Amino acid sequence: MNRNRVWGAATAATAAALAVGLVGCASSPLPESNQARLVESTSASEVMIRAQGIGSDVDAAEEDARLAAVWYALYGGDHPLLADAASRHAFAEHEEEIFADARSYIGWESDILGSRQEGGDRVVEKNVRVNIARLSDDLVARDVIEDSVDVMDRIGRPRIAVLPRDAEHADDTRPAIVRVSEYLQERGFDVEVPEADERVDEVIGQVAALEGHDDPMHQLALEVGSDVYITLDVDHSAREVGADTVRSAVVTAVAFYTATADQIGASSGHSPERDAGDYGVLAEEAASETANRVLNQIDNSWLDVVERGRPFKVVTTTDEGQAAEVGRELHRLFNDLCAEANRNAAGSASFDYTLRCHDQGDAVDLLYALQDGYEGPGELTRVLDSGGLLILEAGDGSVGGSGEIRID
C-alpha cells in the first residue's frame, strides 16, 4: 500500500519530501499517513481537518490521524504554513519536536467516522480541529517562518471594505458580510462595512466615469477610503432527502485593490448540507471558509504589492489652456517621486494616474510630497483624499475650485 498518497489539495512534491524524512525513522513521531483535507475554517485561528490515520490497531491509527491533521496544516492545501522551500528546509530540524507535541495543537476531535482493515493495518478517519495560530506562533519562535503580524506592522495593514456584490442582494449577503468582517477584525485589520446604498461623492463618480468604471461597489470603496475591498455573493440551494429538506449555502468572495480595481483574490466557501431552516446560519458557516481563503490571498498579494510600491490613484484637473504644461509636469513629477507611474486615462483637462510609491503611507503623505516637488503653472490643490485616492486641481486657480473632472 502506498502510504504517501496525497488526499485533497496536498501536493505530490510535498508528499515526496515527507517520504524522504520518513526513511529510517520508524520510531519517530512523524505521521504514517498524510491523507487529509480541509473541512472548514472554524475561526481565524482554527481549521477543521478530515484526516486518515494508519496504525497497528485503532488507538495507533487514531494517533496517526492527529499527526496527519497537523501535517496538513503545515504542508497541505492552498495556504500551508510552510509555504516555500526556505521554510520547509528550516522546519526539518524541528519536525520531530513539533509532531511529538501534536496534541497541543488540537482543540477538538470527533469520534471515529470510518474504520477499515487494510492488510495488517487499521485505517481510521476522523475530524480534527487544529489551532493553526498556536502552531504558527511556535514556528515563528523557532525562526522557521516570519511572523505575519510583524510583517504587517512593518509595512502597514490594508484597510478593507466588505461589500455585497450589488445593492440588490445586500440583505441576503448581510450574514456573510458580518462573519467576514468579524474574521478580518480577529486578524487585526481595520474594516469598513458601508451601507450598499450609501451616497457617493459626485467627484468620485466623475473619477469612475473618466476610466469607464461604473461599478457602484468600487465607487463606494473609494468613498470610504479602503485600500482593499471585498465583494460577497451568497447562493442557496435545497433538496429533498427522504422526508427531510436539506439546505446549503455557498459564499463567493472577490477581492480588489481599491486604487486600481485590480482583482487580487477570489474564493468560494461551502456550508455543510444539513437540515436547517435558517439560510443565514448556513451563509455564516460558508463565509468562515471563504474569509480564511481570500484573506490568505490578500496577505500574500499585499506583501508583494508593498515591495513594488503602495498603489495610489491620482486624478488631477486643470484649465484647458494649461493642460499641456500641467500634464508634462505631472508626468515628470510622478516618475521622479514614485517607483511606477502609469497613465490610465485623460479628458480634455483631466489626468488619471496609478502610482506605486515606497515612501508615502497614505494620500496625505503623497499630497505633501507632490506639492513640495511641483514646478508647473500655479499650484497643486487638494480636492479630495480618501485612502489611496487623491484628487487634485493644478494651475493658477482659473479652474475655480470646482473639482469638476471633464471627460470630453
The per-residue pLDDT for 167 is 87
The per-residue pLDDT for 46 is 86
Calculate mean pLDDT across residues 182-192: 89
Question: Is there a contact between 107 and 135 (Cβ–Cβ < 8 Å)?
Answer: no
**Quick one: how far is CA 202 from the chain centroid?**
30
pTM of the model: 0.68
Q: 126-139, pLDDT tens digit by residue?
A: 999 999 889 989 99
Domain ranges of the chain: 12-146, 157-306, 310-395
Distance CA 179, CA 271 (A): 13
The per-residue pLDDT for 401 is 45
- CATH superfamily for domain 157-306: Lipoprotein like domain (3.30.160.150)
Q: 369-402, pLDDT tens digit by residue?
A: 999 999 999 999 999 888 888 999 998 865 444 4
| All cell numbers assigned to 32 | 504514517
Q: 74-88, pLDDT tens digit by residue?
A: 998 877 889 889 999
Nearest to 351 by CA among 368, 334, 372: 334
Residue 175: how many other CB atoms lie within 10 Å: 23
Calculate mean pLDDT across residues 332-351: 88
Least confident residue range of 194-203, 298-307, 308-317, 399-408: 399-408
- pLDDT > 70 fraction of the chain, expressed in percent and rounded: 86
Distance CA 191, CA 193 (A): 7
Q: pLDDT confidence of 316, banded at 50, 70, 90?
A: very high
